[in-house]
Amino acid sequence: MGYTQSEYFVSGTASAYTNVGALDTDGVWTVAAGETAPYKTRILVYRPAKRHQFNRTVIVEWLNVSGGLDAAPDWIMAHTELIRHGYAWVGVSAQFVGVEGGPGIGGLPSMGLKPTDPNRYGSLSHPGDSFSYDILSQVGAAIREPGTIPALQDLTIRRLIAVGESQSAFRLVTYINALEPIHGMFDGYLVHSRGESPAALSQSPQVSIPVPGQVLIRTDLQVPVLTFQTETDLTLLGSFRIRQPDTDLIRLWEVAGTAHADSYTTVAGPTDQGDDPSVTNVIFTTEPVPGLITCDVPINSGPQHVVLKAAIHALERWVRRGKPPAPAPLLDVVTDPAITIQRDPLGNALGGIRTPWVDVPVATHSGGGQVGSILCLLFGSSIPLDPTTLDQLYPTHRSYMQAFRKSTREAVRQRHIRGRDARLMRKAAKASNIGD
């Protein structure tokens, strides 16, 4: 299926917001529009080249700026699912750093649009992150309005789903609690890798309006929210402390063997065409960003991207049909003396959403296991099992394949892995030398 890419500048006047009453931990917030400012930002649009291949759902991603530039981690992790099933995708440069520039975490250089390419992006202007929430709403309104965005004007759009990962998820939680009741702009939300606290409602240079250190997603919403969490998010980012029971419109997925970021995000994912079985293999690399970052042990190479694709499918189906996915098992966690995920004798997590990565392992996959910079800590670890252990687990290749097929079938049955990905995984496992 062919896809097209377009880029547009979007301008207008955005509002910052102030709270009306306390911002409590339950997320049931009331806000009002306050200071206004002009803005001009950028959006990216990916869509099926042929109109009849569009599935009438647009994924709107709040681009992540943690690295000092606009990045699209959810597009990278889920793009093969989106392309296979005819989604359109819009990436929104909602934050100041993505447009104007600013340092990334861990000392990463600033690579904002304007300083990187002033000839192309010099006319852009971002008034600050206090206005980011309204910018997202205005982009959503533009997508819904026929003819406003040329690349979408021939499409019949029925559903808008907002997604955001990491820092973008922090901001999306604040958006859901503060603005969703006002605008009702989106038909569903995927909150991917949030911490215990969301982003501030307003910040410098506007009046600072912080939020509590631990905040739930409000439970009086009219649209579904699926929160997708890795091991790192529960421990390092503290999201275990805001674990939220499922409701008719809230689901929580915690995935065993995953880290906040991983090798697929930066190494394999950007070139994945969706038909190469080897992409599902475990990669052992200590360089999450080759040439820029080197970690002490191999970074995580777990199943995050595969399960995320199933999560997007489940959320879209939920939005379209009104039927939520079944409740998912949560990771086994103890809290004394610290938040710790329980592990099997091989070091893989107990509980949570299961896949062959942890049930038929060739490595110990963890959201932790790193030391040093915050970037390496976020990338977790995948440590290969030694040959003796592998021989004990899988005395023959046939025994390995029997266990692998059983685990994969169960994950597909639970709707935590898509069938197309399961087929690629089985091909890769069959081509391996495990048990030989």
pLDDT at 106 over 80: no
Residue with tokens 């394999």: 268
On the question of pLDDT at 192 being above 90, the answer is yes
Q: What residues pair up with 61 in beta bridges, in sequence order?
A: 91, 163
For the segment 326-356, what is each residue's pLDDT rounded down to a tens digit? Answer: 999 999 999 988 999 999 999 999 999 999 9
pLDDT confidence of residue 1: 60
In the structure encoding, which two tokens stand for residue 323, read together? 């039927």
Q: CB of 112 within 8 A of CB of 106?
A: no
- Dihedral sign for Cα 264, 268, 274, 276, please: negative
pLDDT bucket at 421, cuts 50 / 70 / 90: very high
pLDDT mean over 204-228: 97
* Chain position carrying tokens 């999450």: 288
Q: How far apart are CA 328 and CA 220, in angstroms?
A: 21
Are 61 and 249 contacting, i.e. CB atoms less than 8 angstroms apart?
A: no
Full 3-state SS string of 363-378 = EEEECCCCCCCHHHHH
List all residues 6 or more positions away from 400 whose beta carbon is below 8 Å from its beta carbon: 360, 393, 394, 429, 432, 434, 435
Residues 305-317 have a mean pLDDT of 99
Percent over 70 (pLDDT), the chain: 100
What are the residues whose beta carbons fall under 8 Å from the beta carbon of 143, sequence distance 6 or more? 58, 60, 90, 149, 152, 157, 160
Round to whole Å and give the CA distance between 289 and 299: 11
Q: What is the DSSP string of 13-61?
A: EEEEEEESS---TT----EEEEEEEEEEEEEEEEEESSGGG--SEEEEE
How many CB atoms within 10 Å of residue 177?
25
- pLDDT the model gives residue 229: 99
| pLDDT tier at 131, thresholds 50, 70, 90 | very high
Peptide bond before residue 337 is cis, with ω within 30 degrees of 0: yes
| Residue whose structure tokens are 């009002």 | 32
Confidence category of residue 103, pLDDT binned at 50, 70, 90: confident
Residue 105: per-residue pLDDT: 83
Dig out the tokens for 90 from the structure.
């819009």
pTM of the model: 0.97
Whether the predicted pLDDT of 225 surpasses 90: yes
Quote the DSSP letter at residue 411: H
At residue 110, the pLDDT reads 80
Asked whether the bond before 205 is cis by omega within 30 degrees of 0, the reply is yes
Residue for token pair 């973008």: 168
Cα–Cα distance for residue pair 263/259, rounded to 1 Å: 10
Q: Where are the alpha helices (DSSP H) in 261-365?
A: 263, 304-321, 356-359
User: In sequence order, what are the residues at sequence separation of 6 or more whose Cβ sits closer than 8 angstroms to the Cβ of residue 321?
Assistant: none
Residues 313, 253: Cα–Cα separation, whole Å: 13
Q: Strand 88-92 relative to strand 159-165: parallel, antiparallel, unpaired?
A: unpaired
Q: Residue holding tokens 């901001």? A: 171
Q: What is the mean pLDDT of the chain?
A: 97
pLDDT at position 89, please?
99
pLDDT class of 292 with cuts at 50, 70, 90: confident
pLDDT of residue 360: 99
Instruction: Parse the chain into domains and list their residue ranges.
Output: 3-223
Return the SS3 of 403. helix
pLDDT of residue 99: 97
Query: Which whole number is the average pLDDT over 163-180?
Result: 99
Distance in angstroms (rounded) separating the CA atoms of residues 40 and 14: 10
Mean predicted confidence (pLDDT) in 62-84: 97
Count CA atoms closer than 13 A to 79's CA, side-chain side: 23
Q: Is the pLDDT of residue 293 over 90?
A: no
- The two tokens of residue 10 are 């979007």
Closest by CA to 17, choosing from 167, 221, 192, 174, is: 174
Flag whether pLDDT at 304 surpasses 70. Answer: yes
268-277: average pLDDT: 94
Q: Is the peptide bond between 109 and the residue preceding it cis, with omega within 30 degrees of 0?
A: no
Does the pLDDT value for residue 308 go beyond 90?
A: yes
19-44: pLDDT as tens digits: 999 999 999 999 999 999 999 999 99
Confidence of residue 376 (pLDDT cuts 50, 70, 90): very high
| CA 192 – CA 253 distance, rounded (Å) | 10
Strand partners, 90: 45, 60
Structure tokens at 133: 């929430």
